[in-house]
Amino acid sequence: MLAEERSLPAKLQEQALVDFFTSHSAEVSRRTGRTIDLARQKPYTGTHNAGYTECQEFYGAITLESDEPLGHQIVTMLDVALRGVGDRWNDVVIPGFDFVVVENTLGKFGRRVECFNQVPINVQHLVGMGCWLKD
């Protein structure tokens, strides 16, 4: 359940994402044979504005300093990303892994949260198919 649904401080949603990546650091470290702090590979905050205000992501982003709950009726983007490089492109942190993003549009109506996406999270099977998603 998202912090949005329970009127908790918005920062708990971002902290949950950081905690998720942290909890998988040991597994990724074991698989790659090097110590990796997976939470540090999260390039930006995980929730931001949607629609025409999306270009102002950092103004409406949920950060670890977001103490207030989110508004009653809003739309946000859950934007989870992970990078395999460091601060420079030739700084390989996770070998064979460049960048991945999963982004969902969420609507909050009081305590109810809906995901508005119709595209599946895993779209690899659609790559190169030349088809359009149908209703």
DSSP string, 1-31: --GGGGT--THHHHHHHHHHHHHTHHHHHHH
Amino acid found at 58: F
Residue 119 has pLDDT above 90, yes or no: no
**Model confidence at 3, in pLDDT bands (50, 70, 90)?**
low
Mean pLDDT of 6-30: 92
pLDDT at 1 (0 to 100): 55
| pLDDT tens digits, one per residue of 50-79 | 876 666 666 678 889 999 988 888 888 888
Measured distance CA(51)–CA(4) in Å, rounded: 18
Sheet harboring 73-83: ordered strands across? 47-49, 73-83, 99-109, 112-115
